[in-house]
Amino acid sequence: MAEIFENPPQIDSNYEPLGAAELVDHDGGSLRLKAGSTIVEVSALAPDLFRVGAFPDGSTPGYDSEAIAKQEWGTVEVSMERSDKEITLSTSAATAHVSLDPLRVSFADASGRSLAADDEEFGMGFSRRPDADVFTQPLGPSPRLYKRREEGERYFGCGERTSGLEKTGSHQIFWNVDPPLGHTASFNNLYTSIPFVFSMTKGRAHGLLFDDPGRIEFDLALEDEDRSYYGAEGGNLVYYVFCGPTPGDVLDRYTELTGRTPMPPLWSLGNQQCRYSYMDEDEVREVARNFRERDIPCDVIHLDIHYMDGYRVFTWNEERFPEPEKLMSELREQGFRVVTIVDPGVKVDENYPVYTEGHERDLFCKTGVGEEYHNAVWPGICAFPDFTNAETREWWGANHSALLDVGVAGIWCDMNEPSLFIPRQSTMPGDVVHPGDDDPKFHAQIHNAYGSLMARAARAGLLKLRPGERPFVITRAGYAGLQRHAMQWTGDNSSWWEHLWMSMPQLQNLGLSGVAWAGVDIGGFGGDANAELLARWAEFGAFQPFCRNHTAIGTRRQEPWAFGEPCESVYRKMMKLRQRLLPYLYSLFEECHRTGAPILRPLLFEYPEDETTYTADDEFLLGDALLVAPITRSGIEHRHVYLPRGCWFHYWTGERFDGPAHVLAHAPLGQPPLYVKANTAVPMAPDMAHTGEGTWDPLTLLLYPTAGADESVLYEDAGDGFDYEDGEYARRTVSCEEAAGSVTVRLSERLGSFVPQRQELRLELRGFGSAPESVEVNGEGADSSYDEETGTVIVSLGETESVITVEIVR
Ligand code: GLC
C-alpha cells in the first residue's frame, strides 16, 4: 500500500547540492569540471542532444548502460564562451549554460527557449547518510537532480503508464514488477521502466532521459509545481537532454541514442491468437482450423508454458506435443507461424542439461556468499541466468535452437522482471549478485535492465540461428532502449472495460518513450470477457502495432468465435480491416524504424501547437492519416471525439468534418469511430487470410480529396530478411491536391531496387457526389469507374517505377 499511495519527499535532510565548480578540462564538445570531489562532465553529443554526468568518487566518466545503443558520436561543431561565472557550449541548434558557483546547468533551444534548467536552489548533487559506509548505503551516495519547471511546461512519457497521458503533477516510480492481477490505474510502476520524460511547453517539445537501471523516482511538479525531481538509490548521476523543438525531433534523437525499433517480419503484424495454454497439439490444430473455416485472418498461434516438459525452458512436453516439428510444418502450410513462451527461471534439476550446463559454466546469479541463487517459479525451484554476462547471453541465445530447429518462428520472453514466487510475485532481492563480465553488480543496481538483457540474448540468438530472418521477440519486462531488442506486450491486463480504456494512454505513453511496437492482450488476460467487451476490444485491438488475443488459464474461452454472433462477425470485420491496412501499417513501421516516430501516436505528436490534444488520451492516431476513438464502455453507441485542425472523413459513412471540432460519433458495434485525414493516401491490401497468402495486388490507395494538399509515403520490401539494408525496397510519395474542383494525385518515382510483384495499383477516391467530368492518367484517358451508391471513383493504374500523375475534374 505504502508504495502506491505515499510519495516520499523530494528533498531529504542528507542532500547536498553540488557547490562551486572549476573547469579542469575541455575538448570540442565537452567540458570537464570539478565540484568538491565530484567530477562533472557536460557534453554536446549532437546539435540538439546534451549529456551530463556527475561522478561523486572523482572517477573517470563512463557511460556504459543497457539503455544506450550509440556511445560514439561524431564531432559536433561547438563554440565555447567562458567568463568567471559561466561557460556556454553552443551548437547550431542549442546551448548548454553552465554556471560555476554554484554549479548549475541549463539548456536552451535555437529560439532561446529555456529548457531543463537546474533548479537554482537544489541543482544536482548527492544524498549521503551521515554514517554512510558500505553497510548503511551499499550502493553509494544517492544522485538527485532538480529541474525548474518552465512556465506552461507539461510532462508526458515515462513508459507504460496506464493512468492517462499527461504526467504533470505526478510521482513516478521506476522499478519493474509483476503486479497482482487486476492492477488499476493507481499502480504506478509495472513491468518495464523507461525513465524518459517527454515535455511539451506551449507547443515545443524536449526530453530528459535519467539513466540508471536501479530503482529511481521522479516527482514531476507534484510536491512543488515549479520543480521536477529525479533521483536514484546510488551510483553516478547521468542524464541526457533532447532539445527538440518538435516531438518528432525529440523521438528521432532519443531513438538514435537508445536504439531504433527493428524492421519486423511482415507476418508478425498479422493477427495473433493465444491462450494460457493451448494444452496439446490437437487443441492447436482445432484453433487453426477454426480461423480458416470461419474466415478470420490470423498469422500466428502462441504456445504458453504447457508446451514444455514440466515448465523446463527449451524442452518439449512429449505427451502434449509429441511431434512439434510435424505440427509446425502442418500449420506453416496453412499459413500459421508459432511463437513459444520462454521464462528466465531454469529448473534446478541434475538431469536437465540446460541447468547442468549453466551450473557447470557458472552462468547463474549468486547469493552474497557465492552460492547459486534459487527461488521458485512455474517449474519449482529455479536458478536465474546472469544476463549481465555476455557469455550467459550467448549460451542462452544458442539454447533457442531447441525451439527454432523444430520450426518455431518467434520467442515470447515472459516473467523477466524477474517475477518470483517466494514471496508471491516478488522480484530478486537487491543483494543478489550478478557476477557479470568481471564486474559484479548487486541486483539492485541493474534490476530494471534484467528483462532487456534477456530479450537482447534472445534476439542475438535468433539472429545467429537464422541469420537471414528478422527476429520476432516479445518481452514483458525491460528498460529504456528495450525497443531495439524486442517489442513489448503489456502483461496481465484484465477483462474489464477499465483495462480496455487504460490500453489507450498506456500505448501512447510507450510510443512517446521510444517503444512504438507494443500491444495489450485483446479481450483482457485475467477474468472472464463477454461478447460485447471482446467485440469492442477487437475494434481497438485491430489498430495496435501488436495485435494478439490472450487470456489466462481457467477463464472463459476468448477466441473470436467464443461468444457467437454478433461478436464473431465484428471480430472478423476488424481483423479483415487490419489485414487490409497492412501496407499502411508496414509503411509506418518503416518510418518508425528510421525516425523513432510512434506508430500508434498521441494527437499531440502531430498537433503540438494545439493544447487540447495534450489530454486527449481516449483517442489516438495511427500514423498521421487515421484517427481512432474506440468505444470503451458497455451499452454505449455514441461518444465524444476531438478532431484536430484539418479535414476528416468518417470511414464508415463518409461524413466530412472540419477540425478543430468536438463531435458526437455514432458507433454501433462493428463501426468504431475511425476518421481519415483528407488528401492522405492510405495504402490497402486485398482481403487475405494471412500475410503469406498472396502479394498486395491490387494495392489500393484510399483517398478523400478535398481543397488543399497533403502527402504520405508507401514503403514496401520483401517483408523479411535484410536486403532492404542494401537498397532493396520501394518507396514512393503519394501527394494529393485539390484546387478549383480539380484533383491531382501524384505518385513519385519509385525509389529503391525492390520491384513489387503486382499488376495493378488503384486509386479509390471517396466523397464524389457525382461522376467526375474527366479522369486522366499522365495526360491520357484512364481506366476508371464511378460507383454512385458510395460516391467512389476507382482509377486503375499499372505498376511502374516512373512518376504517375492522375487528374480528376469533379
Ligand atoms: C504470465 C504472463 C501470461 C502467461 C502466464 C503463463 O502471467 O504474463 O501472459 O500466460 O504467465 O505463462
pLDDT class of 8 with cuts at 50, 70, 90: low
In the chain, DSSP finds a helix count (H) and a strand count (E) of: 13, 52
Q: What is the grid cell recorded at 794? A: 476507382
What pairs with residue 407 in β-bridges? none
Q: In ligand 1, which atom is closest to the CA atom of 553?
A: 10
pLDDT band at residue 28, thresholds of 50, 70 and 90? confident
pLDDT of residue 3: 45
- The neighbouring-strand residues paired with 239 are 52, 210
Q: Write down the pLDDT at residue 2.
A: 39
Mark whether 360 is an active-site residue. Answer: no
Q: Which atom of ligand 1 is nearest to the CA of 305?
A: 12
Assess whether pLDDT exceeds 60 at residue 5: no
Nearest to 189 by CA among 152, 213, 215, 154: 215
174 and 215 in contact (C-beta within 8 Å)? yes
Q: What's the mean pLDDT in 526-548?
A: 98
How far apart are alpha carbons 75 and 81 in whole angstroms? 18
SS3 (DSSP) at 150: coil
Is 27 annotated as catalytic? no
Q: Averaged over 435-453, what is the pLDDT?
A: 95
How far apart, in whole angstroms, are the C-alpha atoms of residue 326 and residue 406? 8
Which of 41, 48, 386, 414 is an active site residue?
414
Report the pLDDT averaged over residues 515-535: 98
Atom of ligand 1 at shortest range from CA of 343: 12
Whether 17 has a pLDDT exceeding 80, the answer reads: yes
**Is the pLDDT at 462 greater than 50, yes or no?**
yes
| Average pLDDT of span 465-491 | 98
End-to-end CA distance of the chain: 65
492 is catalytic: yes
- Among protein residues, the one whose CA lies closest to atom 10 of ligand 1: 276
* Closest C-alpha residue for ligand 1 atom 4: 276
Ligand 1: which atom is nearest the Cα of residue 491? 8
**CB of 178 sitting under 6 A from ligand 1:** no
CA-based torsion, 785, 746, 644, 184: positive or negative: positive
Long-range CB pairs of 282-290 (<8 Å, 24+ gap) are 284/327, 284/331, 284/338, 285/327, 285/330, 285/331, 287/559, 288/331, 288/334, 288/336, 290/559, 290/561
pLDDT band at 9 (very low <50, low <70, confident <90, very high): low
pLDDT-derived band at 525 (thresholds 50, 70, 90) equals: very high
| Dist. CA 724–CA 731, nearest whole Å | 11
Whether ligand 1 lies within 6 angstroms of the CB of 341 is answered as yes
Q: Please report the pLDDT score of residue 130 as a whole number.
A: 85
What digits encode the pLDDT tens for the residues 766-801? 999 999 999 999 999 999 999 999 999 999 999 999
Smallest CA-to-CA distance from 568 within 431, 669, 489, 681 is with 669
Predicted confidence at residue 7, as pLDDT, reads: 60
Nearest CA to ligand 1 atom 5: 276
CB atoms within 10 A of CB 13: 8
pLDDT at 175: 97
DSSP 164-227: -S--TTEEEEE----PPSS--TT----SEE--EEEEEETTEEEEEEE--SS-EEEEESSSSTTE
Q: Candidates 317, 382, 489, 525: which one to mutate for ligand 1, based on the most atoms within 8 Å of Cβ?
A: 525
Q: Is the CB of 492 under 6 A from ligand 1?
A: yes
Which of 275, 304, 493 maximizes ligand 1 atoms within 8 Å of its Cβ, making it the mutation to test the pocket? 304
Q: Which residues have C-beta within 8 Å of that of residue 432, sequence separation ≥ 6?
A: 365, 366, 367, 368, 373, 442, 443
Say if residues 129 and 44 touch (Cβ distance below 8 Å): no
Q: What pLDDT shows up at residue 214? A: 97
CA distance 367 to 373: 5
**Complete DSSP assignment for 692-745:** TS----SEEEEE---SEEEEEEEEEE-SSSSGGGGT-EEEEEEEEEEETTEEEE
Instruction: Report which of 489, 53, 75 is spatially closest to residue 268, judged by C-alpha positions.
Output: 489
Q: Sign of dihedral through CA atoms 100, 105, 109, 112?
A: negative
Query: What is the model's pLDDT at position 136?
Result: 81
Tell how far the Cα of 276 is from the centroid of ligand 1, in angstroms: 7
Average pLDDT of the chain? Answer: 96
Cα–Cα distance for residue pair 280/111, rounded to 1 Å: 63
Please give the average per-residue pLDDT across 130-151, as a whole number. 91
| pLDDT above 70 for 434 | yes
Report the pLDDT value the prediction gives residue 6, as an integer from 0 to 100. Answer: 55
472 contacts 270 by C-beta, under 8 angstroms: no
Q: Is 305 in the pocket of ligand 1 (CB under 6 A)?
A: yes
At 131 the pLDDT is 85
Exposed e or buried b for every residue in 724-762, given b needs 16+ CB within 10 A?
Answer: beeeebbbbebbbbbeeeebebbbbebebebebebeebb
Indicate if the pLDDT at residue 526 is higher than 70: yes
Q: How many residues does the chain have?
A: 810
Crossing angle of helices 497-511/531-541, nearest 10°?
10
Q: Cβ atoms within 10 A of the Cβ of 665, count?
A: 23
Residues 6+ positions from 13 with CB-CB distance below 8 Å = none
Please provide the DSSP assignment of 81-126 as one string.
Answer: EE-SSEEEEE-SSEEEEEEETTEEEEEEETT--EESPBPTTT-EEE
Instruction: For residues 335-362, give the mean pLDDT.
Output: 98
Helix (H, G, I), strand (E, B) or coil at 75: coil
486 Cβ neighbours under 8 A, 6+ residues apart: 413, 455, 458, 459, 473, 474, 475, 478
Residues 140-164, mean pLDDT to the nearest whole number: 96
Burial of 232 (C-beta count, 10 Å sphere; 0-12/13-18/19+): buried
- Rounded Cα gap, residues 475 and 531, in angstroms: 29
Number of the ligand 1 atom closest to the C-alpha atom of 521: 9
Centre of ligand 1 from the C-alpha of residue 568, in Å: 25
User: What is the rounded distance in angstroms from the CA atom of residue 232 to the CA atom of residue 212?
Assistant: 7
CB-CB contact of 523 with 536 (8 Å): no
